[in-house]
Structure 1
């Protein structure tokens, strides 16, 4: 793996390079560093059926638009790709949570698009459920309360507490995103990426990675500085990869919080050039993840190794899912490059 520099000089060179590609998907496939092979979970079809039943139970797919979105995003497929070795019970929780977050995220974007304050009722309901065990008052809240119950039943109390804490950070991130979307002028790249790290919604799944192991990680292992850095790198790479494939869709929708679009605003370049710069950033992130993992791996317990493998699964899974999911079909359009 060659270390990817993000110096001013190399960015300048990248902006003047002509990289041959028919469309964004080809551009990404040709340049993104992906050391993790494709894997899927043998319980995927069972999980997909479970997601459909769970969403209907809580009335979340009563709206035809939401049902169509779920068909286009394939949450059980993403769960299968990023959690290929977990048992069926953990996989079902992962798939349910992915579906829930897709719905919650889309509704938050719609409600808070022009007036972020309108988000406060749905966000405070979520925080109350996650922090205080409050009773829900909406179908989304009821689904979250049930998801919280599933986590508490499958995880240890410490793992469930970490899940709730990380989930609250995700909820707060959606408010920051709404404020940034309505801000003029557009937020700078550093702030954009900070918000994106919260709205990614990847870190709530890490306690489930831990729950899939034979036992809890020791606190010294779980909170080791290198382990914490691996978590940050994994979450960033996992969410930035879909940003590449969704850049066309989000550009058309006027979205701001996207790595590729942040590069495009910062350097006033074409979308293909911005995607190329974003790929360099992602490649460097994945390379650092690999280097740190190899450094700390001999010190880890078997459960610690499984936990980090769960993190890398999110990088791999988000890539292979993004390549084929109907939601990002615009990435294959010629206009994506030209």
Structure 2
């Protein structure tokens, strides 16, 4: 992905002038999915606060402040505008849990990845073996898994646990990359990002919100598998754009825009524009494949894919206003 000076100059000319990084993103990003919001969002926000207190997570240092800056129920509302109150609450709980878990993993594993092992092994034991928890984080995960089993079919709950274990393993890969003395190459960065995104564990909940389970033919169709990958990538890459300034300052490695900046040795606005071009290609492929598969899908299959699209839309509109990414409103250099 290296470029010459002339090629970098040509890339810079393609950047639409913008006052802030957020304006730059709005000018370039292709977003075909309109803003929507779930009417049950206020109740879900109150439910998140109550659940964090009940599990003891709200007593953990920094958690309450982090939740106020990330607004899990708002993200759930934007991603799942048609979900019933029960599913919306479950999505909001899972988002809140993953925010806490991800921040803790980053804090612990930044310099010594090995110190993450007890935390990650506890999670795997709960998800794989139903082991009893020994920490507040473990207790929250165990209760979340209980809620999933109560709301989902056994097959959906099994898919949720599998995708959740993949997310847990991804955080160890991220910690190793952060601690490595050499910068992570772009291909490795996107591979790790796909694991740490934590988006695909929510897709069984998209299925649970439908009238019935998807047929094996729908669920395992090659186009459906590709749609899942495309939607998860686009959904997590979009917040990478808005968090680029914050993560650049903190020395983060696993960010799509920062990977482009390292590869091209270019200013951040140019790197963000290059990342947007990749996201736009991903969203357009998602649209094209959805149009191709849609005629053969059941109503539940259509709703399932609409749930995937909801994550793309929701992550965009949430990222634009959430306090966690307020640095995106700073003037671009």
* TM-score normalized with structure 2 length: 0.97
Alpha carbons 1:11, 1:277 under 8 Å: kept = no
1:17 maps to what in 2?
14
* Partner residue of 1:102 out of 91, 99, 104: 99
2:190 corresponds to which of 190, 193, 206: 193
Q: Which residue of 1 aligns with 2:249?
A: 252
Instruction: Please show how residues 96-245 of structure 1 align to structure 2 within 5 Å.
Output: 96-245=93-242
**In the aligned structure 2, how far is the partner of 1:88 from the partner of 1:18?**
42
Provide the alpha-carbon RMSD of the alignment. 1.5
Aligned-pair CA distance for 1:18: 4.5
Preserved contact between residue 16 and residue 27 of structure 2 (Cα < 8 Å): no
Q: Deviations over 1:54-99 (max 9, x none)?
A: 0011111113521001000000000000000011111111000000
Deviation at 1:157, TM superposition (A): 0.2
Cα distance in 2 for residues equivalent to 1:187 and 1:333: 27
Query: Following the alignment from structure 1 to structure 2, what is the Cα–Cα distance between the partners of residues 117 and 316?
Result: 36
Kindly indicate whether the alpha-carbon contact (under 8 Å) linking 2:53 and 2:59 is maintained by their aligned counterparts in 1.
Answer: yes
* Change over 3 Å in CA distance of 1:158–1:28 after alignment to 2: same
Measure, in 1, the Cα distance between the counterparts of 2:23 and 2:248: 19
- Matching of residue 263 in structure 1 with residue 260 in structure 2: yes
> Which residue matches 1:275?
272
Aligned partner of residue 48 in structure 1, secondary structure = helix
Matched-pair contact (CA < 8 Å) for 1:50–1:92: yes
Distance of 1:327 and 1:121 partners within structure 2? 28
Alignment of 1:79 onto 2:66: no
Q: 2-side partners of 1:81 and 1:19: how far apart?
A: 28
For 1:58, the equivalent position in structure 2 comes to 55
Flag the 1:49–1:287 CA change in 2: closer, same or farther, 3 A: same
> What secondary structure does 1:216 align onto?
coil
Q: Secondary structure at the match of 1:161?
A: helix
Post-superposition Cα deviations, 1:221-276, rounded to whole Å, max 9, x if no partner, equal: 10000000000000000000000000000011100000000000000011100000
C-alpha distance after superposition, 1:273-328 (max 9, x if no partner): 00000000000000000000001100100000000000000000000000000000
1:333 aligns with 2:330: yes
**Unmatched 5+ stretches in structure 1:** 1-5
Alignment pair present for 1:27 and 2:24: yes
TM-score in terms of structure 1 length: 0.96
Give secondary structure in 1 for the equivalent of 2:59: coil
Aligned length: 331
Give per-residue Cα distances to partners, 1:25-63, cap 9 Å, x unaligned: 000011100000000111100000000000011111113
Measure the CA separation in 2 of the matches of 1:283 and 1:116. Answer: 34
Q: Distance in 2 between the 1:214 and 1:277 partners?
A: 40
Unaligned stretches of 5+ residues in structure 2: none
